[in-house]
Amino acid sequence: MALVNPSFIDEVKRSDEFNASACMNCGVCSAICPMGIELLPRKLFRYVLLGIGEKVLNNIEAIYSCLLCKMCEVNCPAKVHIAENVRSLRYVINKKVFKI
């Protein structure tokens, strides 16, 4: 069972750039991603907003597979700051998991 931690969003949200809530789950990002990263950003960003940090931390490989190429971002109809959001996730993982 996934545990909900309402403060997880505060840990991830380093700045106002984290705007995942604008995502309308259209699927453009997943369709266009050169790495075929199905998880980003539709599921992972939603996990953050819901406070399910455990699910985010279970997908470290996908988070670090992102090239930060912004192919998804420039085509996102909701103007979600996808690359910046991924950087925010990496920031938290670096602190929590890798202790750096």
CB of 31 to ligand SF4, least distance (A): 8
Query: CA geometry: angle at 84 spanning 26 and 80, to 5°?
Result: 25
Give the CA distances from residue 31 to residues 47, 66, 75, 100, in Å, rounded to whole numbers and listed in that order: 20, 14, 11, 33
> What residue ranges bind ligand SF4 (CB under 6 A)?
23-29, 33-35, 37, 40-42, 66-72, 76-78, 80, 82-83
Give Cβ neighbours of residue 45 (< 8 Å, ≥ 6 apart): 20, 23, 80, 85
CB of 24 to ligand SF4, least distance (A): 5
Complex with ligand SF4: residue 25 or 94, whichever CB lies closer = 25
Complex with ligand SF4: residue 40 or 52, whichever CB lies closer = 40
Complex with ligand SF4: residue 3 or 32, whichever CB lies closer = 32
